[in-house]
């Protein structure tokens, strides 16, 4: 499946060292990419991209090059709106690669992965295959799902929610759940939120979607409350939802109608997107906070929100991105970022949630570093409400 997808793709490989350039081109060809073009400098690479004679699906780029370096190439590609995938290559330490990856992602580029020189051929092939499968899945879903279908699905209640527990790291008690949207398409099966949230944002359906999710989550929150189950309920909000000044009032109406205590609602907003237009959102975030819900800054570590910005904003909770949690026990850089995020949150008296805890070693590390709450497959995956209720009952036995 992936091999045939790669045959139709074209890649540009950029490296100033001749030997490395030949090696990378050979490995990319071996992975099955149909057309591989090489460039020996950043300037030559950008000329090739801007030439428009051919469109590249993948760019493999070395970071250290004389003249225009790889970071400058990335910046330019982002400015040009390059929509393919990028693989970063470096002979320096992993930290430089991680920073460059973050920078590229924050600028909206699709990073397939990064490679430390010297790398074995199979690492390149495996990255290429992973990308081909992901691209096929995304383009299949996007080309097959129309905004009209999504609109109909929101109205007819085809979009439902799953709940993933968050537990106290000291006691293991389940304190809250995160609500995650799911679309069970009658013919195409489950479509993930990564795909349909994007369509909803681009086709002005994000408000209808948010209202449907908030309604389902708060009605369920109210049921749990009546059953004597004390849980906070977190929802994810797109920045597009914050365009309307009456958003805080709309949320309050829905929560009141559902009969849920608004203080038990948590609103998660992703960090990397928040920095783009900070000032605009301060007004609406402050009003939202005044209505009672806890505001949570999600995927912390992927954006550039500074201590000063955090101080200005009414967030009470910080969720550390799983990139700095999962496997951090064996990765010095991730652990350092995790540790400094926890200490930053503590200074600002925020609750810290570690996301992506998948194994016991992750749990041990985040507990030791002082994260208050833990979420991830090690505890439980997202579940439909019946499965979640049964899981909770079993856990409380």
Contact positions toward ligand C2E, by CB under 6 A? 164, 180-181, 192-194, 197, 213, 236-238, 298-299, 322, 356, 358, 376-377, 382
CB-based contacts of 37: which residues, under 8 Å, 6+ apart?
A: 10, 11, 12, 13, 48, 54, 56
Q: Least distance from C-beta 44 to ligand C2E, angstroms?
A: 38
Applying CB under 5 A, among 16, 62, 298, 321 the residue interacting with Ca ion is: 298
User: Token pair of 186, please?
Assistant: 């009658």
Residue nearest to ligand C2E (CB): 376
Residues 228-287 that bind Ca ion (CB under 5 A): 236, 268
Question: Shortest Cβ distance from residue 192 to Ca ion (Å)?
Answer: 14
Nearest CB to ligand C2E, comparing residues 213 and 350: 213
Nearest one of 100, 86, 9, 8 to 45, comparing CA atoms: 86
| Nearer to ligand C2E among residue 72 and residue 105 (C-beta) | 105
Q: Could you give the CA distance from residue 243 to residue 257 in angstroms, rounded to a whole number?
A: 23
Q: Which is nearer to Ca ion, 271 or 298 (CB)?
A: 298
Q: Which of ligand C2E, Ca ion, none has residue 201 at its interface (CB below 5 to 8 Å by kind)?
A: none
Closest to ligand C2E by CB, 96 vs 217, is 217
Work out whether strand 10-14 and strand 35-39 pair parallel, antiparallel, or are unpaired. Answer: parallel
CB of 303 to ligand C2E, least distance (A): 13
Token pair listed for 82? 């390059």
Of 6 and 320, nearer to Ca ion (C-beta) is 320
**DSSP structure string for 125-155:** HHHHHHHHHHHHHHHHHHHH--HHHHHHHHH
Tell me the angle at which helices 94-106 and 70-79 cross, rounded to the nearest 10 degrees.
Answer: 10
Measured from the CB atom, the residue of 38 and 169 that comes closer to ligand C2E is 169
Count, residues near Ca ion per rule CB under 5 A: 3
CB-count burial class (<10 Å; 0-12, 13-18, 19+) for 294? buried
Instruction: From 37-45, 133-141, 246-254, 295-303, give the range in contact with Ca ion by CB under 5 A.
Output: 295-303
Helix (H) and strand (E) counts in the chain: 16, 14
- Cβ 284 to ligand C2E, closest distance in Å? 15
Chain residues that interact with Ca ion, rule: CB under 5 A: 236, 268, 298
């Amino acid at each position: 499946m992936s091999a045939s997808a790669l045959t139709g793709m074209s890649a540009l490989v950029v490296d100033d060292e001749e030997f490395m350039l030949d090696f990378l081109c050979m490995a990319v060809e071996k992975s099955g990419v149909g057309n591989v073009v090489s460039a020996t400098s950043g300037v030559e690479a950008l000329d090739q991209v801007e030439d428009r004679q051919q469109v590249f699906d993948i760019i493999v780029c070395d970071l250290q090059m004389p003249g225009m370096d790889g970071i400058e190439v990335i910046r330019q590609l982002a400015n040009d709106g390059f929509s393919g995938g990028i693989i970063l290559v470096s002979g320096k330490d992993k930290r430089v690669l991680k920073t460059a990856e973050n920078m590229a992602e924050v600028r909206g580029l699709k990073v397939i992965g990064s490679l430390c020189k010297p790398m074995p051929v199979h690492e390149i092939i495996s990255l290429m295959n992973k990308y081909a499968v992901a691209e096929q899945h995304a383009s299949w879903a996007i080309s097959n799902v129309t905004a009209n279908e999504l609109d109909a699905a929101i109205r007819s209640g085809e979009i439902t929610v799953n709940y993933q527990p968050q537990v106290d790291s000291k006691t293991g008690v389940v304190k809250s759940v995160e609500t995650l949207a799911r679309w069970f398409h009658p013919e195409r099966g489950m479509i993930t939120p990564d795909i349909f949230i994007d369509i909803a944002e681009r086709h002005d359906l994000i408000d209808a979607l948010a209202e449907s999710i908030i309604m389902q989550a708060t009605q369920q929150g109210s049921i749990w409350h009546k059953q004597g189950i004390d849980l906070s309920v977190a929802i994810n909000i797109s920045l597009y939802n914050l365009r309307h000044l009456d958003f805080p009032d709309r949320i309050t109406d829905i929560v009141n109608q559902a009969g849920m205590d608004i203080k038990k609602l948590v609103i998660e907003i992703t960090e990397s997107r928040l920095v783009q237009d900070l000032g605009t959102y301060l007004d609406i975030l402050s009003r939202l906070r005044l209505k009672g819900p806890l505001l949570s800054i999600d995927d912390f570590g992927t954006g550039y929100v500074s201590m000063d910005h955090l101080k200005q904003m009414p967030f009470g909770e910080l969720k550390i991105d799983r990139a700095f949690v999962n496997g951090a026990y064996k990765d010095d850089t991730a652990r350092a970022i995790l540790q400094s995020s926890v200490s930053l949150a503590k200074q600002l008296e925020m609750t810290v949630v570690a996301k992506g805890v998948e194994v016991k070693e992750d749990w041990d590390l985040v507990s030791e570093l002082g994260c208050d709450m833990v979420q991830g497959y090690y505890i439980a995956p997202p579940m439909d409400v019946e499965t979640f209720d049964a899981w909770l009952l079993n856990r409380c036995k």
